Amino acid sequence: MNNKSRLSLLVVQILIVSLVMALLGRLFFLQVASGDKYQDAALSIQSRDVITPAIRGIIVDGSGVPLASNKVGLAITIDRIVIDELSDKGVALMQRLAGLLQLEYADIYQNTRLCGELPAGQKAGCWQGSRYQPIPITKSADPDTAIQIVERADLFPGVSAKPVAIRAYPSFFDVNAAHLLGYVGPLTESDLLSTNEKQYFRSESIGKTGLEIQYDSYLRGVPGIRTVIVDRKETITKESQNTASIDGDHLVTSLDVRLQAATEKALKDAVLRGRANGYRSDSGAAVVMDVRTGRILAMASYPTYDPNSWEKGLTVQQAKDLFSETKSVPALNRAIQGLFAPASTFKVISVVAADKAGYDLNATYDCPSQVEVGTRTFRNFDSKNQGRMNINTAIAVSCDTIWYQIAFDEWLRDGGLKPKSNLNDYFFKAAEAFKLTDRVGIDLPAESASRIADREYKKSWYEQNKDFYCNYKERAKKDQQSAFLIQLAAENCVDGDKVRAGDAVNFSIGQGDTVLTPLKLTQSYAAIANGGTIWQALVGKAIVKTDGTVVEKFTPQKLGTLDVKPSTIKFLQSGLRQVVVRGTAAGVFSGFPVEISGKTGTGQVFGRNPDGSAKDDTSWFASFAPSNNPRYAVTMMIGQGGFGASTSGVGVRAIYSTLFGVTGGRVDPGAAIFPGGKPPEQLPKISLVIKKKGAQ
């Protein structure tokens, strides 16, 4: 054949070989290089997972009384895919359901909106799961009502009824513990995408806050999965796996349900007492800690809410109220998230500072009615001249001016507004000795760290605020431009980055920008009580199975020791006892048959309430008992509650009464919460049969 033919044939041959090679290459790419990706895609096309949820573990107190358990409810669910197809998007359907189930239409509507569909600020009560899950509008439907709905599928398309496990908080002894326990809810998209090792299925519930989320991996168990292979018409062709669910394990806490209930009641009574005395009294917290182990025996926050409301289904109003400022944000756990100026309870730190600075704690000092510091006058609390006294008495009667003088003198020694290069900074160092800025490390989410207004704080505060203060006249609102404030702004602009005399003086009495959480203060007082050990606080004690097998035990860690001489610690213990014997708390604890040591605090608060009124003082009482050989530390704080002794102190006395079994002015050992004087070490047996116990 001719050469052209031959060449053409060759060209065609090469072309065809290349085509085949290209196909091979592409085939390799799809099957070998990207095989995994396509296998996953194929699985999602051809297989379906049917999840059977595991029974969630229960949460019990130290004696085995259930705080969180499960019960069976009847849920009515709406399928968004179905109702979105209706011409009115299901409005008439939801109105019918509202009437039948005695719910509000607006609540049903809001509950069935995806959180992502709603504008910010209007998301209360929204559905955090996905469009493809049936959305429950109630979990406690009546069976007869449910039958009416299910039998009329024509009137109620996309609506079904099914039994569901719901989390129940049984409130034995009328206990609340909402902030400790938390609540459970459906997974959000961000939970599903989160990168931690947990593997979740879309239809699961998980803990959202509190112990429910902290110990979620133990409590939730393992859901059962049945994987079926389907064909294009969604007919099941075979079953690929069928694993049974594994129930969750149970959490034993160190709480005591009766003590917790009593603490909550004492807190609430203190709030009301403050109001009766004419104070705004809008919030509060109380903590009971074992000083020898760090375990939390009770913790309360006011205001609170009913944790069962999450499972019942929050109305839109309830959801809004939980986070509403006017209702004092009940969702907040003030014991670990509330930051308040500790006021006189901080003086234990000042004692340590004075001691380190070389002041003789047994010598006597003046306690005048006021002290001139620079151009300002700092007064004693009620402007009384208390004469000369030693430090022990100064603690007992809560003299302020002694500390002003000491603090001012030390501030001057450190160079005043021009700090020296080798600072003594006894007061700031004393705060470090107590490790005040370290978190307590409690096993609850979102614990706030306390803040000390030391030199570093002032520098960073200045960086953030100097633009505002140096341009005050332009930046501030018109009603904030009084002569005093303009003067203050000018001062802040000039030396807002320095610790000024007023800052040093305020520091010594726990005022100014220093703020602590009630839990942190409790930990610090517990450290004084036990001789210097700073304990981590824990609520969880152990994870156990129903048959009693212990899966894991949790022991609080020793986080450090107070960097304070043992003799100084003893001095503090003695001073704090004198507060109760002859000092500011004497009246509150008169006639009390157990020896208590503690400190009152009445903190002035700068600022105004939303309604314009000036803020009332914060009431504090931090304590431990029994004074010889202390076991328990109890702290109470009432925001805008007035005096430390009369508002919080009385509340703490009520807590100790329950704790020690004090009735009619005497200790009744049989009535004490912890017979034997200490919390139980043994773990209780778990009984899943819940019998309603009688009230205490």
Partner 1 sequence: MSQISARQNLYRKDRRSLFHGFDPVLTIVVGLLLFLGTLLVWAATRDWYARGGLDPEYYLKRHIINILIGAVLAYGVTVIDYRLLRAYTPILWGAAVLGLLIVLIPGLGTEKNGAKAWIALPGGFQIQPAELAKVGIIIGMAMILSERSHNSDKPSNKNVLQSLAVAALPVLLIVLQPDMGTILIISASVVTMIAVSGISSKWVVGLLLLAVSGGFIAVQAGVVSEYQVKRLQTFVDPNADTQGSGYQLRQARITVGSGGLLGTGLFNGPQTSGRFVPEQQTDFIFTVAGEQLGFIGSGTILILYLILLMRAFSIARRTTDPFGRLVCTGVIAWFAFQMFENIGMTLGMMPMTGVPLPFISYGGSSMFATLIGFGLLQNVHARLRG
CB 585 within 8 A of CB 579: yes
Interface stretch with partner 1, choices 42-50, 60-68, 179-187, 370-378 (CB under 8 A):
42-50
Smallest distance from the beta carbon of 203 to partner 1, in angstroms? 23
Given the rule CB under 8 A, which of 12-20, 85-93, 107-115, 194-202 is the region that contacts partner 1? 12-20
Q: Quick check: 242 binds partner 1 (CB under 8 A)?
A: no
Q: Which is nearer to partner 1, 13 or 487 (CB)?
A: 13
Question: Of the two residues 230 and 488, which places its CB atom closer to partner 1 in the complex?
Answer: 230
How far apart are alpha carbons 99 and 105 in whole angstroms? 8
- The residue type at 208: K
CB of 44 to partner 1, least distance (A): 9
How far apart (Å, rounded) are the C-alpha atoms in residues 447 and 520? 10
| Shortest distance in whole angstroms from residue 131 CB to partner 1 | 18
Binding residue for partner 1 (CB under 8 A) from 41, 147, 153, 449? 41
What are phi and psi for residue 157, nearest 5 degrees? -70, 140
The amino acid at residue 346 is F
Which positions from 47 through 66 interact with partner 1, judged by CB under 8 A?
Answer: 47
Q: Toward partner 1, which CB reaches closer, 9 or 147?
A: 9
Of 232 and 692, which CB lies nearer to partner 1 in the complex structure? 232
Q: Which is nearer to partner 1, 32 or 695 (CB)?
A: 32
- Give min distance, CB of 86 to partner 1, in A: 23
| Contacting residue, 8, 241, 383, 609, with partner 1 by CB under 8 A | 8
Smallest separation (angstroms) from partner 1 to the CB of 238 = 8
Rg (CA), the chain: 32
Cβ proximity to partner 1, 6 vs 558, nearer residue: 6
For helices 501-508 and 426-433, angle between their N-to-C axes, nearest 10 degrees: 40
Which residues lie below 8 Å from residue 388, measured CB to CB, with a gap of 6+?
A: 364, 365, 366, 367
For residue 199, the minimal CB distance to partner 1 (Å) is: 22
Question: Binding string, 214-233, against partner 1, x = CB under 8 A?
Answer: ---------------xxxx-
| Nearest distance from C-beta of residue 193 to partner 1, angstroms | 22
Backbone dihedral region for residue 206 (phi beyond 0: left; psi -120 to 50: alpha; all else: beta): beta
Q: Is 521 exposed, middle or buried (0-12, 13-18, 19+ CB in 10 A)?
A: buried
For the bound state, the minimum distance from the C-beta of residue 81 to partner 1, rounded and expressed in Å, comes to 17
Q: Which residues pair with 137 in a beta bridge?
A: none
Considering beta carbons, is residue 23 or 92 the nearer one to partner 1? Answer: 23
The DSSP letter of residue 644 is I
Beta strand residue intervals within 37-158, DSSP E: 47-52, 59-60, 66-78, 135-138
Q: Cβ neighbours of residue 79 under 8 Å, at least 6 residues apart? A: 134, 135, 158, 159, 160
13 binds partner 1 (CB under 8 A): yes
Using the minimum distance from each CB to partner 1, give the nearer residue, 2 or 375: 2
> Rule CB under 8 A: which of 15-34 touch partner 1?
16-17, 19-20, 22-24, 26-28, 30-32, 34
Residue 666, interface with partner 1 (CB under 8 A)? Answer: no
| 239 lines the binding site for partner 1 (CB under 8 A) | no
**Minimum Å distance from CB 243 to partner 1?**
19
Q: Cβ of residue 234: shortest distance to partner 1, in angstroms?
A: 10
The DSSP call for residue 249 is P
Q: Is residue 236 close enough to count as binding partner 1 by CB under 8 A?
A: no
CB nearer to partner 1: give 43 or 55.
Answer: 43
Q: Which residues pair with 550 in a beta bridge?
A: 544
Percent of residues in the chain assigned helix, strand, coil, to nearest 5:
40, 20, 40
- Residue (11 or 272) nearer to partner 1, CB: 11
CB of residue 3 to partner 1, shortest distance in Å = 9
The three-state secondary structure class of 555 is coil
Cis peptide bond N-terminal to 419, omega within 30? no
If the CB atoms of residues 20 and 363 are measured against partner 1, the closer one turns out to be 20
Q: Nearest-5° angle of CA 240, CA 246, CA 249?
A: 160
Using the minimum distance from each CB to partner 1, give the nearer residue, 26 or 413.
26
To the nearest whole angstrom, how small is the minimum distance from the Cβ of residue 7 to partner 1?
9
Q: Measured from the CB of residue 17, what is the shortest distance to partner 1 in angstroms?
A: 7
Residue 492 and residue 475: Cα distance in Å, rounded?
14
Q: For residue 689, state whether it binds partner 1 (rule: CB under 8 A).
A: no
Selection from 676, 684, 670, 547 nearest residue 63 by Cα: 684
Q: Which residue is associated with the tokens 């008439």?
A: 92
* Cβ proximity to partner 1, 41 vs 276, nearer residue: 41
* Cα(57)–Cα(67) distance, integer angstroms: 11
Of the pair 236, 246, the CB lying nearest partner 1 is at 236
Site for partner 1 in 536-565 (CB under 8 A): none
Question: Restricting to residues 604-663, which ones interact with partner 1 according to CB under 8 A?
Answer: none
Q: Which of 67, 235, 582, 695 is in the footprint of partner 1 by CB under 8 A? A: 235
The distance of closest approach from Cβ of residue 239 to partner 1 in the complex, given in angstroms and rounded to an integer, is 12
Please tell me whether residue 2 binds partner 1 under the rule CB under 8 A: yes
Would you say 23 or 446 has its CB closer to partner 1?
23
Structure tokens that stand for 691 in this block: 């019998």
Exactly one of 42, 81, 92, 272 binds partner 1 (CB under 8 A); that residue is 42
Residues 6+ apart with CB under 8 A from 664: none
Distance separating alpha carbons of residues 178 and 289, to the nearest angstrom: 18
Annotate 494-523 with three-state secondary structure.
HHCCCCCHHHHHHHHCCCCCCEECHHHHHH
- Residue 485 interacts with partner 1 (CB under 8 A)? no
CB of 201 to partner 1, least distance (A): 21
Q: Of 606, 636, 598, 601, which Cα lies nearest the Cα of 342?
A: 601
Pull the structure tokens for residue 497. 């980055």
Question: Smallest distance from the beta carbon of 29 to partner 1, in angstroms?
Answer: 9
Is the peptide bond preceding residue 626 cis, with omega within 30 degrees of 0?
yes
Gap between the Cα atoms of 316 and 106, Å rounded: 8
Instruction: Please identify, among the stretches 37-45, 134-142, 194-202, 563-571, the one whose residues bind partner 1 according to the rule CB under 8 A.
Output: 37-45
CA distance 634 to 623: 5
Q: Which is nearer to partner 1, 46 or 448 (CB)?
A: 46
Nearer to partner 1, 38 or 323 (CB): 38
- Number of residues lying near partner 1 (CB under 8 A): 40
Contact 681, 62 (CB under 8 A): no
Beta carbon of residue 82, minimum distance to partner 1 (angstroms, whole number)? 21
CA dist list (Å): 342 to 248, 635, 639: 41, 11, 11
Q: Retrieve residue 373's tokens.
A: 């510091």
Under the binding rule (CB under 8 A), the answer on residue 417 touching partner 1 is no
- Residue 283 has a CB neighbour count (10 Å cut-off) of 23
Helical H segments across 153-246, by residue range:
178-181, 189-193, 210-214, 216-219
Using CB under 8 A as the criterion, which residues of the chain lie in contact with partner 1 when the complex forms? 1-2, 4-6, 8-9, 11-13, 16-17, 19-20, 22-24, 26-28, 30-32, 34-35, 37-39, 41-43, 45-47, 229-232, 235, 237
